[in-house]
Amino acid sequence: MENKKVLIGMSGGVDSSVSALLLKQQGYEVIGTTLELFPGSSCCNTNTYIDAKNVCNLLEIPHFIYNCKEEFKKNVIEDFINCYANCKTPNPCIECNKYMKFGYMYEKAKELGCTYIATGHYAKTEYDNKYKRWVLKKSRAGKKDQSYVLWNIPKQLIEHVIFPLADFEEKEQIREIARKNNLKVANKPDSEDICFVPDGNYKRFLENNSEIKPKEGNIVNSKGEVLGKHTGLYNYTIGQRKGLRISYNVPLFVLGFNSIKNEVIVGEEQELYKKEITVTDINLLLVDQIDEWMNVEVKTRYSSKMSKAKIIQQGDKIKVIFDEPQRAITPGQSAVFYLDDIVVGGGKII
C-alpha cells in the first residue's frame, strides 16, 4: 500500500492552511510544520505559530515547530548580504525554497516517515510521459503562479512534492474554502515583503546586520564623466531613475556599478536594453544537459512577462539570446526557462 504520509509547511496563512485541509480531504496522513527562520519576521512570529497550530488543531493533525534560524542565516541571510555587497540584487525566496522549504523540510519529512512534502505555493508537479520524468509546471493561477521562485529546488524532490493549490485560478476560491471550513485565517492578508525585512527597508536591514555602510562615491556616465554623487552602491538598482539628484538634458537611469572605483554608472534608456545574458549556478529540472540551442520562454524577474529566447549550456553556465532586447536585466536575479508551462530550469544572472 502506498505511503500517503505528507509533511506540509504551515506559515499560518490561508494558502498553507487550505492546502493542509485539501490534503486531509484527499486521504493523506497530514503532519503540519512551521519553520522558525528569523526572529520577528513576518513568516515566523508568535501569531504565525498560533494561527498554524490552531488550524492543525481544527484539522486534528499534529503540528511541529523546528528551530532552523542558524540554517536560515547561513543559506539565506548571508547570501542576501553577499549579493548586495557585490552589487547584485538577490531574490531571497529562491534561496529559502531551495535550502529551507525543500531542503531542510524534506529531511525532516524523511525523519517522520513521510513520502511527501507539501506547501501552499501556486505551482504544479506531475509525471510527464513525453519527457519520462516528473516535472515542475506553472499552476493555473496566472499572475499569482509561483513556479518562478521554485526553479532551484533539487530535481530529485519533484516527485515527492505536492502543491494542493495547483489547479485554482483565483485567490478568492482559496479564501472561500477557508470560510466554509471555519478556518479563522480565511481573510488574513497576504505577506508581500521579504519575510526578514517586514518594514520593507532592506537598506536599513543591511546597515544594521552587515559591514555594508553608506559610502559616498561618484555617479558617472559610460564615458566615465562625473555627473554627481551617490550615497552607497547598495542604495541603487539597475533601471532606477528617481533619486539620482542629477540635472541632465535627458532622463538618466542606473545601468550598473563599478565596485572597484565605487561608482554608479548611469545612461540613457536605450542603454538599459540587452539582447544576451549569461546565467550561472544553474539547476536543470527538465533535461540533464542543453548541448544544442533550445527555444524557450524566459522570465528574468518574478513580475516580468515571458520573453522568447534561445539557450545553450556552456560548461557550468547557460548563454541566453533573446529574440527582442530586454530592459533592465539585473545581476543576482534569476532567469527561469519554460517550455510551454513546464519549467526547464534556471540560473542566476551575472
- % pLDDT > 90, the chain: 92
Res 2: pLDDT: 65
Q: Which residues contact 21 (CB under 8 A, 6 or more apart)?
A: 55, 59, 177, 178, 181, 183
Q: How far apart are CA 30 and CA 162, in angstroms?
A: 12
Q: 268 and 250 in contact (C-beta within 8 Å)?
A: yes
Task: Please state, as a whole number, how many other Cβ atoms lie within 10 Å of the Cβ of residue 19.
Answer: 26
What is the b/e burial string over 291-312, where b = at least 16 CB atoms within 10 angstroms of the residue's CB?
eeebebbbbbbeebeebebbbe
pLDDT beyond 80 at 300: yes
Which residue is catalytic, options 43, 68, 93, 195?
195
Q: 206 and 214 in contact (C-beta within 8 Å)?
A: no
pLDDT in tens, 27-63: 999 999 999 999 877 676 778 899 999 999 999 999 9
The total number of residues shown for the chain amounts to 350
| Known catalytic membership, residue 93 | no
Q: 12 and 190 in contact (C-beta within 8 Å)?
A: no
Which residue is catalytic, options 43, 56, 96, 114?
96
Q: Which CATH superfamily is domain 5-180 in?
A: HUPs (3.40.50.620)
pLDDT in tens, 305-338: 999 999 999 999 999 999 999 999 999 999 999 9
Q: What fold characterizes domain 214-267?
A: SH3 type barrels. (2.30.30)
pLDDT beyond 70 at 181: yes
What average pLDDT does the chain have? 95
Q: Which CATH superfamily is domain 273-349 in?
A: Translation factors (2.40.30.10)
| Residue 25: CA count within 13 A, CB half-sphere | 9
pLDDT beyond 60 at 1: no
pLDDT in tens, 112-166: 999 999 999 999 999 999 999 999 999 999 999 999 999 999 999 999 999 999 9
Res 232: pLDDT: 97
Q: 298 and 322 in contact (C-beta within 8 Å)?
A: yes
- % pLDDT > 70, the chain: 99
* DSSP codes joined into one string, 107-142: HHHHHTT-SEEE---SEEEEEETTTTEEEEEE-S-G
Helix crossing, 46-59 with 14-25: angle to 10°? 20
Q: How far apart are CA 234 and CA 228, in angstroms?
A: 16
Question: Which parts of the chain fold into alpha helices (H)?
Answer: 14-25, 46-59, 69-72, 78-85, 92-96, 105-111, 171-180, 202-209
pLDDT beyond 80 at 350: yes
Q: How far apart are CA 16 and CA 11, in angstroms?
A: 6
What are the grid coordinates assigned to 329, written together? Answer: 536585466
Q: How far is CA 42 from CA 46, 108, 192, 317, 326, in A?
A: 10, 23, 9, 35, 33
Question: Which parts of 221-297 fold into alpha helices (H)?
Answer: none
Q: How far apart are CA 163 and CA 122, in angstroms?
A: 7
| Known catalytic membership, residue 96 | yes
246 pLDDT band (50/70/90 cuts)? very high
What are the grid coordinates assigned to 87, written together? Answer: 552589487
Res 134: pLDDT: 98
Mean pLDDT of 239-266: 96
| Residue 116: CA count within 13 A, CB half-sphere | 20
Question: What residue segments make up the domains of the chain, in order of their start?
Answer: 5-180, 214-267, 273-349
Residue of 341, 319, 243, 323 whose CA lies nearest to 275: 323
